[in-house]
Amino acid sequence: MTIQVDESSNSPMSDIEALEQRILSEIGAATDEPGLEAVRVAALGKKGAVSELLKSLGGMSPEERRENGPLFNGLRDRIALAIAERKTALAREALDARLAFERIDVTLPARPEPRGTIHPVSQVQDEITAIFADLGFAVAEGPDVEYDDYNFTKLNIPPDHPARQMHDTFYVARQNDGDRHVLRTHTSPVQARVMLKQKPPIRVIVPGRAYRRDSDATHTPMFHQLEALVIDEETNLGHLRWVVEQFCSAFFEVDRIELRARPSFFPFTEPSVEWDMRCDRSGGQIKFGTGNDWLELGGSGMVHSRVLEMCGIDPARYQGFAFGFGLDRMAMLKYGAPDLRAFFDSDLRWLRHYGFAALDLPTLDGGLSR
């Protein structure tokens, strides 16, 4: 808005001009918000100078009013605007002054937050589960304390069978039920449990703890196994090889792996096969798929017809394979953790070194490992 000044007009006009000049200079002189507010009240408050001028319009003739109305209103608007502008400027000055004062040392450490970790065995278990879920395998479980019948007899290892010596078994004290149970020496009793409960087709893996009375540099009395069981009408050794191949290739994240099958003996499989994977240990680190070394993966075979029978499955109609690999060992190999005993020692330094972040949940689309 432009202020219209009529040079020919008389004193009221210059009075108003003087008033405006005075108020504007007061506004300019206000150094803080209360000072500015006092100026505002003196000008625009109920009894302020400008308000009084506006009130005076009421006593004027229509002509006077027509002449003075726009003058007075214009004055009020200009003053109000000037106050508002000054207020904003004062606020900005005050903020600038405050901010100029507020300073932190950004090199101070962040607020402490503990960094949690997932144990490598759990992580690897999740990786394995993701791979086998894609192949249609469910995850089965069983108890750690197991019936002798499931741990041995139903797996075609009758009492006093020399094969029982392959398992250094922990026995639990005789119970109230009169029986003496074992800590399962492998995850294979879950095979029996699954077959007794579920009709074929069956595809399960059993990752879990197992116990043997064995403790040295490379053995701990508790360890983890990965069991797999497939039962249907046609599954054969060729399928077993394919599954082991697919699994190892996915798990170790190597496109080309080379497996070696060796005949072996397990009472619960016939024929029985042990698997080795070609590797290269020459560079201090293990590499898969090349080299002149073989890495033992574990045992497997076609489920023994007598095991099928004892578990309520007709061997004339159904057949399938099972395998059992060392889960801890797979974690050790994949993630370069050389000492099995450290897995169960709960050393915070180890847990932090080999552990995984909470949100590193392995997926097939995002990759099993970062």
Residues 92-151 that bind other proteins (CB under 8 A): 108-109, 111-119, 121-122, 126, 129, 132-139, 141, 143-147, 150
Interface with other proteins, residue 358, by CB under 8 A: yes
Minimum Å gap between C-beta 4 and other proteins is: 49
Q: Which of 208, 161, 201 is nearest to 186 (CA)?
A: 208
Instruction: Give the Cα-Cα-Cα angle 315, 316, 321 (nearest 5 degrees).
Output: 45
Q: Which of 229, 227, 368 is nearest to 298 (CA)?
A: 227
- Helix (H) / strand (E) element for 309: namely helix 305-310
Total residues contacting other proteins (rule CB under 8 A)?
A: 100
Identified binder of other proteins from the candidate list 104, 349, 365, 370, rule CB under 8 A: 349
Residues in region 314-343 near other proteins by CB under 8 A: 319, 343
Which residue number, 58 or 162, has a Cβ lying nearer to other proteins?
Answer: 162
Q: Which stretch binds other proteins (CB under 8 A): 13-21, 60-68, 80-88, 161-169?
A: 161-169
Interface with other proteins, residue 177, by CB under 8 A: yes
Residues in the chain: 370
Q: How far apart are CA 333 and CA 285, in angstroms?
A: 9
Minimum Å gap between C-beta 236 and other proteins is: 4
Minimum Å gap between C-beta 107 and other proteins is: 11
Whether the CB-CB separation of 137 and 370 falls below 8 Å is answered with no
- Strands 138-139 and 202-211: what pairing? parallel
Q: Which stretch binds other proteins (CB under 8 A): 21-29, 35-43, 79-87, 300-308?
A: 300-308
Q: Which of 338, 366, 345, 131 is nearest to 226 (CA)?
A: 131
Q: Which stretch binds other proteins (CB under 8 A): 46-54, 64-72, 205-213, 284-292?
A: 205-213
Identified binder of other proteins from the candidate list 34, 58, 59, 263, rule CB under 8 A: 263
From residue 205, how far is each of 27, 231, 339 by CA, in Å?
A: 83, 12, 26
In a 3-state reduction of DSSP, which class is residue 242?
Answer: helix
Which residue number, 72 or 247, has a Cβ lying nearer to other proteins?
Answer: 247
Interface with other proteins, residue 218, by CB under 8 A: no
Residues in region 45-74 near other proteins by CB under 8 A: none
Which residue number, 66 or 262, has a Cβ lying nearer to other proteins?
Answer: 262
Minimum Å gap between C-beta 366 and other proteins is: 15
Burial class (CB in 10 A: 0-12, 13-18, 19+), 95: exposed
Q: 227 - beta bridge partners?
A: 206, 324
Binding mask 182-201 for other proteins (x = CB under 8 A): -x-----------------x
Identified binder of other proteins from the candidate list 229, 273, 279, 295, rule CB under 8 A: 273
Q: How far apart are CA 146 and CA 185, in angstroms?
A: 9
From residue 90, how far is each of 33, 34, 183 by CA, in Å?
A: 7, 11, 79
Interface with other proteins, residue 348, by CB under 8 A: yes
Q: How far apart are CA 266 and CA 44, in angstroms?
A: 101
Q: How far apart are CA 125 and CA 198, in angstroms?
A: 23
Identified binder of other proteins from the candidate list 92, 281, 357, 366, rule CB under 8 A: 357
Minimum Å gap between C-beta 14 and other proteins is: 54
Interface with other proteins, residue 178, by CB under 8 A: no
Which residue number, 47 or 103, has a Cβ lying nearer to other proteins?
Answer: 103
Q: What are phi and psi of 339, to 5 degrees?
A: -110, 110
